[in-house]
Amino acid sequence: MGETISVNAKDGGAFDVYLAKPTASRRPAPGVIIIQEAFGVTTWLKDITDRFAAEGYVAAAPDFYWRFAPNFAAGFDDEEALATARRHLQTIDHAAAVDDIDATSGALKSMDECNGKIATAGFCLGGTLAYLAAVRLDIDAAAAYYGTQIHEYLDEGSNLTCPTLFHMADHDDFIRDEDVKEIFQALIGIPNLAVWTYDTGHAFANWDRPGAYDEELAEKAHARTFAVFDKLKQD
């Protein structure tokens, strides 16, 4: 359904972006930047990017590992690749990744199919980056699915001005209970922020993750995301 394009980075070089456009003929649509888990631009990430395109968005999934492992994607049945993904998770520079989000945003805005509105939707690593984009960039909405490092950037929460959703799992083994409490204490009450919790575990939105996917709750989270993002389709 989609294609791979190249986007120029702010600090030189270029990176690949998987791009999927709405299938039906519509007026210009919002752009949504889909932000990867630790495992790279996997088949599932492309599929969920296609899903957002089918919902009427110009959806783009950048390769955030391009500086040190271009086009890396780990299969969930490959233990060696999964170990490599965990190392990449420790290597990625969050500030540079936000710059890549900004560059991707500029590329989307230059497309005739895009109406100039930009949202981010990220998963795990991507959940943190979606939040950082919301507090650091001029974007229009964000959805952070089980972001595992948001608690490290709570001092930036006051910069959150666009409509933002957190989709958090009640039984997430990748974030400590005390870190979740910090998030609630620091950010609850900030205008435009909605925090949703789900009686499930980490990665519940990924249908390629064995034992993690919860279709009912994933669809509930997506419906809430689309309800916010759809407002960007309005004139």
Known catalytic residues?
172, 202
Is residue 7 within 8 Å of residue 18, measured between CB atoms?
no
Full DSSP string of 4-57: EEEEE-TTSSEEEEEEE--SS--S-EEEEEEE--TTBS-HHHHHHHHHHHHTT-
How far apart are the C-alpha atoms of 134 and 194, rounded to whole Å?
A: 13
Using DSSP bridges, classify how beta strands 114-123 and 141-145 pair: parallel, antiparallel or unpaired: parallel
Distance CA(178)–CA(157), nearest Å, equals 18
How far, in Å, CA of 129 to CA of 134, rounded?
A: 8
Token pair recorded at residue 46: 């492309």
Contact call for residues 96 and 67 (beta carbons, < 8 A): yes
Residue type present at position 84: T
Distance of CA 108 to CAs 118, 125, 126, Å?
8, 22, 18
